[in-house]
Amino acid sequence: MAASVFGVAIMLESGSTTSSFAVASREGGAGSVLGVDGVAFVELGDSPALDRYLREGEWGSIEGLVLTHPVRPGELLARENFVEPSVRDDGVVTIEMSVGAPDWLVPGNRAELWVGPPASENSFSAPFVLSPEVIIDSVTFDDGFASDAATSRVDLRLPRRDIPSVVHAIANRYFLHLTPVS
């Protein structure tokens, strides 16, 4: 409904010129290909507010790319919604984090996964990027009387080539940390 109201407002503001804009015609998950069958085109009034969204003629420029976050039917599609297909063959790994609920820790956002292997019993060696192509798939917080609001379980979608290293880090209780990617 909000998209409809937004569309009508844009049409009224824009005058008589319109363009065809790409919208999702079906749901698509982060890391998946939307494809031609997952896109429809709607006529909207030309407006500077719509400059970031894909017009019909620009649709071919993202062919073969995958989604950076989940989309719903009717959602306008922008170029930044798509990334290189290197994340197409993804797997999902769950990690626990104790960072609370920062604004960037939401499904669909991209991040880097860092690891700090232990150097000794009470220290860690220099951290390094374990996987630069992580997409946050879901975030779950404990709820209930005795829950810890700072702790969350985060499902990460990452390339399969990085999964063995992540499982190794989890099994050995290495320090794992996510950082947002803009």
Identify the burial level of 137 via C-beta atoms within 10 angstroms of its C-beta, where 0-12 means exposed, 13-18 middle and 19 or more buried.
buried
pTM of the shown model: 0.51
* pLDDT at site 145: 65
- At the top level of CATH, the class of 2-85 is alpha beta
- The domain segmentation of the chain, as residue ranges, is 2-85, 89-180
Average pLDDT per consecutive 10 residues, the chain (182 residues; last block may be shorter): 60 69 86 81 87 86 77 87 68 85 84 88 85 87 67 87 91 90 78
pLDDT at 78: 86
Backbone phi, then psi, for 103, in 5-degree steps? -55, -35
Say what the pLDDT of residue 86 is: 58
pLDDT of residue 87: 46
